[in-house]
Structure 1
Amino acid sequence: MKTPNTDLTRWLERSGMSRNELARRVKAAAQTWGQPHITPNASTVRRWLEGDQPRTPVPEILADVFSGHFAYRVTTYDLGFGEGGTAERSLAYNASFAVTVEAVTDLGRADVDRRNFLAVAPFAAVAAVGPSRDWLLNTLDQQPEPGPRVRLEDVGAVRNMFGEFQKVDVLQGGGSGRLILAEYMNQHVFPLLRRTHTEEVRRALCEAAAEQTYLLGWMAYDNGEHGTAQRYLIQSLRLAEESKNSALGAHVLAGMADQATLLGKPEEGRRLAQSGRAGLGKAASPACLADLWALEARALAKLGDKAQAAHAVVQSEAAFGRVRPEEEQEWAAFIDPAYLHGEHANTFRDLDESKQAEEHARRSIEHARKQRRARRGAMSQAALAVSHLQRRDLEAAHAAGLRTLSLSRQVKSSRCVEAVQDLQSRMEPYGKHRLIADFNERARELVAAA
């Protein structure tokens, strides 16, 4: 015996729509979704209310219809149809702008609600192949929803918030403030994407939304939530494509490359970085180009290609030498010496080139100290400690390790904890030496808390 769908009944009553009207709207929305075979009628709606479970993507289309009617996000979960395909759908790079908007909106809602299915969503190693290819091909299907027209002033308000959230991430770590940003996006940004716009406003809004969706992904990545991060980054890439901002799209691919390499997929990391460079163009953003070369170097070092990794570092430094800060976009502000020298330090660390690793680590540490950037300072101190270990200087390694711990405690970042754990594993060959034992004892609380 079927159980009536009381949730759907309640939402239908609140809307004031008849069954015929709901069926008509679902049919019209299905056309936008590229599903012309979905043609419900009043009898179909009656069966849904009685407990029939419609096939995907009908629940998602129903959520779209109710969201448009109420002007805020209504999910398949709200309508009594369960979680829907949020985790899987947000891995897809969909040609339809309308479907992209629904995917990223569902993802943001699930993130704020801390749904279990998203917390355990895995990182999919091959999921970036299609998005990076499609971004390069630049094929678009622009299908904005009807509704109150969005103005450039609305977009300006969104952009003004980006810098503040970016500072929170840089200074306090990805674990601080992400859910506040997600709630802001759900309440103020994603709803704007569903309304009508002039072409100028639509591009500007997609650009602003892409920046902040990327930041959500980056903060999730820094907090060790890689499945969530990957899904945000893929949807950010699609929004960046819609904005026609090639530098922003390349920036998103840089984040995806960084994540792939960190998770033990350096070949994929290298390919993503190369895709970013291919789509960037020569003059779009020297800062982004420097980042892409740095991340390609990281991947090459993991692959053991010393010559190509060193070449990529040189290219990164050359690109950064052409940076004019006043000409760069706001998201590029922290692609700077503290960051790039830190990445180069890790590249040479992985190549077992301790002298060069130490040089870059010290330069990164100095810049990070002046900017009070504890996360970057912690990771570069960890690279410095490893360079000392590679020369068997345990006292210097111990001292740098303690500085790593001190800085790591100032931020909420899983990457800092992972840097400490990596340092511990590299110290294992030295057995129970008193300095190693002391470091492990001091690190215990930080690692346990994570």
Structure 2
Amino acid sequence: MASTTRRTRPPNTDLTRMIDQCDGASHKSLAHRVNQLAHEAGLATSYTHTSVANWCRRGMVPDWPVPRLLAQAVGERLGRPVGLAEIGMADAETPDADVGLDFRRDPADAVRVATSFWSTVNRRDFLTGSGFAVSAFATPVTRWLVTPADETAAHRGRGRVGAADLTELRDAADDARRWDSKYGGGSWRANSVTACLQERAVPLLNGSFSDGVGRELFSVTAELSRLAGWTAFDVGQHDAAQRHFIQALRMARAGGDVQLGCYVLTTMAMQTLLRGFASEAIDMTQGAFQRAKREAAPRVLAFTKLIEARAHARDGDAKAASAALAASETLLGQARDGGEEPAWIDFYHHARLSADATEIFRDLKNPKAALSWNAQATAMPSGVFTRSVGMRLAIVGTAHLQGRDLDHGLELGNQAVDILARVRSSRALDYVREFNTALSPWRREPQVVEYLQRTRKELGVAA
């Protein structure tokens, strides 16, 4: 059982009374429903009729978020929302609302915050939510821009951290990147990165290591946290994603890895952009670029400029978008394959730039330019970059619809559904929704009606 009882109280007469009002609700059926809701929230519980009896007769209170799930189960029976106070658990302990959001100045404090977050993240209630607060990034971004690298990374603790430990974490990060690209953030392998942080990274961060080993340890841990944030973002867990990104940025600073900090901040900007805050995303990418331009590899800086271009496009500024895109292309031309660049940026080549440029000009409602850029983008094999191919098909299909080419657009839309039905990515589904919106002028056409019914059935995307 995942949750344990925290304390004993007098009998919970409020809960007993509420259950009595639920026609036909036995303690066994209520426990079964609570287990179902917990499973949907990613929690492993095995409550029984005895558990419910203990909550009622002995006033025992289960760990959060079970009180909320119990109120939901009772509310389902009554056909109305039920609050915690009604079931006698108004003061049930809730998770720390700020866990994972801190960006501590002191390195030791920063490690304590990060390890506390990673040690409990899979039990946190915010994993079930999709909230996003752009203000949560304000302090972390400011503090990283002021000081992007700590002075030392050495630490004395339990157990010596060595090269084999670092290799294990790097391999885990590489594996997670591959599976995320192929199957989306909802794949079991991509999600295992949170387990790696909890089970492997946390003990190592509390161990003994030199400054050199410590910097590598913090950097690879930052990349793991960035990946955990990206996979959470991909499946719509935006609150959890923000917290992972913040801790990734702090670990990059602890490792003195300015170019990784630039990349993490760029990823944060992308989340900010896709949550509807284009102006803030522009500020974040420009800040990342200026802070890292003397230390980061050209390919890293090129990617930051690419995301800035995407943000300008969403903001409707064609001139600024084109300028940032040109800057990205110039920097990418300075990069050399096989050079001393981090592995996490090896995905960014001209084909990726062209694919994103297609989206930029789609957002600017310039289908001619969008399709011209798409012609320059190398086709990606669906078996390797499944999600990316599906999203790109939806983007290009939307550009064709903007150009009033229904037949070609609809063909690509159906191909996108073929591919995206095999991945778990709420982010990818957003592109299908955008495509469906572009179909509005043809809503009554039989082939469009058929397509919209298909997306509803196979992807769960409303027409």
Partner Cα separation in structure 1 for residue 383 and residue 352 of structure 2: 11
Match of 2:430 in 1: 418
Partner Cα separation in structure 1 for residue 217 and residue 294 of structure 2: 25
Partner Cα separation in structure 2 for residue 350 and residue 363 of structure 1: 18
Match of 1:151 in 2: 162
Supply the AA of the counterpart residue of 2:128.
A
Aligned equivalent of 1:93, options 103, 106, 111 = 103
Structure 1 position 358 matched with structure 2 position 371:
yes
Structure 1 position 445 matched with structure 2 position 454:
no
Q: How far apart are residue 432 of structure 1 and its match? A: 0.8
Match of 1:333 in 2: 346
Aligned equivalent of 1:265, options 256, 273, 277 = 277
Higher percent of residues as helix? 1
Supply the AA of the counterpart residue of 2:271.
Q
Q: How far apart are residue 169 of structure 1 and its match? A: 0.8
Partner Cα separation in structure 2 for residue 338 and residue 105 of structure 1: 38
Partner Cα separation in structure 1 for residue 112 and residue 183 of structure 2: 30
Match of 1:49 in 2: none
Deviations 1:88-137 (A, max 9, x none): 13112111223322332333333333x32432262111121221221121
Deviations 1:324-346 (A, max 9, x none): 23221011122233432222111
Q: Give 3-state SS (helix, strand or coil) of 2:98's partner.
A: helix
Structure 1 position 205 matched with structure 2 position 214:
no
Deviations 1:395-423 (A, max 9, x none): 01101101111111122211111111111
Match of 2:396 in 1: 384
Partner Cα separation in structure 1 for residue 336 and residue 436 of structure 2: 40
Supply the AA of the counterpart residue of 1:222.
D
Moved more, 331-340 or 222-231: 331-340
Match of 1:347 in 2: 360
Aligned equivalent of 1:321, options 309, 330, 333 = 333
Q: Give 3-state SS (helix, strand or coil) of 2:101's partner.
A: coil
- CA distance 1:147–1:286, change in 2 (3 Å): same
Whether contact under 8 Å (1:97, 1:143) holds in the other structure is no
Supply the AA of the counterpart residue of 2:356.
E
Whether contact under 8 Å (2:429, 2:461) holds in the other structure is no
Partner Cα separation in structure 1 for residue 413 and residue 156 of structure 2: 54
Partner Cα separation in structure 2 for residue 328 and residue 212 of structure 1: 18
TM-score normalised to structure 1 length = 0.77
Residues 40-439 of structure 1 correspond to what in structure 2 (within 5 A)?
82=93, 84-85=95-96, 87-113=97-123, 115-120=124-129, 122-138=131-147, 140=150, 144=155, 146-176=157-187, 177-282=189-294, 284-326=296-338, 327-364=340-377, 366-369=378-381, 372-439=384-451
Alignment coverage as a number of residue pairs: 371
Whether contact under 8 Å (1:162, 1:212) holds in the other structure is yes
Whether contact under 8 Å (2:382, 2:419) holds in the other structure is no
- CA distance 1:152–1:143, change in 2 (3 Å): closer
Partner Cα separation in structure 2 for residue 212 and residue 288 of structure 1: 18
Partner Cα separation in structure 2 for residue 411 and residue 250 of structure 1: 29
Supply the AA of the counterpart residue of 2:129.
V
Q: How far apart are residue 309 of structure 1 and its match? A: 0.6
- CA distance 1:157–1:261, change in 2 (3 Å): same
Deviations 1:140-176 (A, max 9, x none): 4868462222223322221122211111111111111
Q: How far apart are residue 211 of structure 1 and its match? A: 0.8
Q: How far apart are residue 295 of structure 1 and its match? A: 0.7
RMSD of aligned residue pairs (Cα, Å): 2.3
Moved more, 205-214 or 179-188: 179-188
Partner Cα separation in structure 2 for residue 269 and residue 305 of structure 1: 14
TM-score normalised to structure 2 length = 0.75
Question: Percent identity over the alignment?
Answer: 28
